């Protein structure tokens, strides 16, 4: 398992011996698909890293609406609120069989004191997530569903995509509802758009998995009919028309 050292962002730049030592101190847990790693509202007392597999972080509002905040990929930190003794803000659910590492938060805090590099790694991770959220916020404010959907899929592709004979496959089930929750839309709307793309052979489904046959064409959705708009300062919302 020593090769985790290379994957895990948290331990980057630490020197193999130290990293290995920290790894040994981690609590290791295997979680089956659809099982819950933690729940929103629970007190967060350890910092988590996904060693392998994939998980989704999501919130459910009292009204029943759901939002997928993020898909976690191997090597990423999640549950960092633990460092501040807060509560988990989201549910975390395994979407694959996966392996998770946990360190109790006080331990991590002392590690940070001894190896401040770890703190920088955490900061880097958080910073990246913040950027990601800013992007999504922009999309949600300005882009139509079709664009948001394309972008969400492209993102899944570059984060989790695996080349197969049929195209690039997302190696875990992504339901239409999931996609809807990811882009702030609804199942029927997503279904419609995807049906169209399926008809055009840009995507397909293989045993519960999403397969993107033609990434370039999906990406093109984002650029076609983006009005060059000669006017110096258009005001707002929906750059596309016609």
Partner DNA sequence: CGCCGAGTTGATCAGGCTCAACAAATGTGG
Partner DNA sequence: CCACATTTGTTGAGCCTGATCAACTCGGCG
**The binder of DNA chosen from 1, 30, 188, 226 (CB under 7 A):** 188
35 binds DNA (CB under 7 A): no
Strand partners, 100: 29, 50
146 binds, among DNA, a second copy, none (CB under 5 to 8 A by kind): DNA
Q: Which residues bind a second copy (CB under 8 A)?
A: 59, 61, 63-67, 69, 80-81, 83-84, 86, 89-90, 109, 112-113, 116, 119-120, 122-124, 126-127, 129-131, 133-134, 136-138, 140-142, 177, 180-181, 184-187, 226-227, 229, 233-237, 239
Contact with DNA (CB under 7 A): which of 185, 203, 212, 218? 185
Using CB under 7 A as the binding criterion, the count of chain residues that bind DNA stands at: 24
CA distance 205 to 98: 23
- Nearest CB to a second copy, comparing residues 68 and 212: 68
* Structure tokens given for 152: 């969400």
Q: Does 201 bind DNA (CB under 7 A)?
A: no
7, 191, 204, 217: residue in contact with DNA (rule CB under 7 A): 191
Residues 203 to 232 in contact with DNA, rule: CB under 7 A: 207-208
* Interaction partner, residue 230 (DNA, a second copy, none; CB < 5-8 Å by kind): none
Q: Which stretch binds DNA (CB under 7 A): 42-50, 105-113, 115-123, 138-146?
A: 138-146
Contacts of 202 (CB under 8 A, 6+ apart): 212, 213, 214, 217, 218
**Chain positions contacting DNA, by CB under 7 A:** 144-146, 175-177, 184-189, 191-192, 194-195, 198, 207-208, 235-238, 241
């Amino acid at each position: 398992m020593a090769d985790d050292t290379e994957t895990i962002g948290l331990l980057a730049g630490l020197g193999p011996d130290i990293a290995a030592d920290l790894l040994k101190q981690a609590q290791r847990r295997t979680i089956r698909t659809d099982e819950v790693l933690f729940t929103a509202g629970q007190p967060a007392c350890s910092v988590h890293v996904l060693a392998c597999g994939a998980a989704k972080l999501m919130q459910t509002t009292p009204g029943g609406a759901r939002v997928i905040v993020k898909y976690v990929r191997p090597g990423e930190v999640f549950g960092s609120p633990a460092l501040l003794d807060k509560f988990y803000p989201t549910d975390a659910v395994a979407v694959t069989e996966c392996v998770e590492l946990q360190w109790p938060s006080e331990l991590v805090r002392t590690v940070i004191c001894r190896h401040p590099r770890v703190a920088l790694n955490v900061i880097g991770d958080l910073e990246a997530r913040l950027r990601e959220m800013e992007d999504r916020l922009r999309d949600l404010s300005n882009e139509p569903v079709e664009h948001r959907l394309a972008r969400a899929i492209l993102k899944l592709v570059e984060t989790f995509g695996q080349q197969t004979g049929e195209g690039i496959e997302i190696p875990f089930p992504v339901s239409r509802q999931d996609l809807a929750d990811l882009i702030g839309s609804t199942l029927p709307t997503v279904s419609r758009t995807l049906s169209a793309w399926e008809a055009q052979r840009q995507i397909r489904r293989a045993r519960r998995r999403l397969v993107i046959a033609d990434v370039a064409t999906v990406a093109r959705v984002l650029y076609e009919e983006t009005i060059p708009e000669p006017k110096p300062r258009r005001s707002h919302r929906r750059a596309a028309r016609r």
